[in-house]
């Protein structure tokens, strides 16, 4: 990876000595203090300070916290199934939108994205704001 990065810099006429920072996820091959990519780049350019990419770790904490409880796992599994049900058909999605349009505070339901912790908040917020409307939409299929 080091060679690929250095070749990229060379190919694009970027002088590594002008690099003032670097940040990667927490994978050891990237962030390792002795042999990770950040250490190798730091040896080439001392001014390329390494800054931990904490958002990746925070996302992992959130993901593991959800998976640590059966309630959290079940909640997000069920919300994903609701999203899949409506998004799998344009006619079902239209019925959902018609019901949601009746309430000004309601939001369109969202897809659960494991890579972004904030997407789970969006999922919760959309379900919380449009709970009655989502139930009304589902009742049309019972």
Contacts of 20 (CB under 8 A, 6+ apart): 47, 48, 49
Give me the residue spans of the domains in the chain.
Answer: 2-52, 55-139
pLDDT tens-digit map of 111-140:
888 777 778 888 888 888 888 989 999 998
Indicate the pTM of the whole model. Answer: 0.60
d(CA 126, CA 87): 15
- Residue 87 binned pLDDT confidence (cut-offs 50, 70, 90): very high
d(CA 120, CA 128): 12
């Amino acid at each position: 990876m080091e060679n690929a990065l250095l070749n990229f810099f060379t190919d694009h006429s970027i002088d590594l000595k002008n690099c003032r920072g670097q940040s990667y996820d927490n994978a050891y091959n990237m962030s390792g203090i002795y042999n990770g990519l950040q250490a190798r780049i730091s040896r080439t350019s001392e001014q390329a300070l390494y800054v931990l990419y904490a958002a990746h770790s925070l996302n992992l904490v959130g993901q593991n916290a959800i998976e640590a409880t059966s309630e959290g796992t079940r909640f997000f599994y069920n919300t994903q199934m609701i999203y899949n049900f409506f998004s799998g058909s344009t006619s079902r999605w239209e019925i959902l939108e018609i019901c949601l349009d009746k309430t000004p505070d309601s939001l369109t339901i969202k897809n659960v994205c494991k890579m972004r912790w904030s997407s789970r908040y969006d999922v919760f917020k959309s379900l919380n704001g449009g709970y009655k409307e989502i139930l009304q939409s589902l009742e049309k299929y019972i």
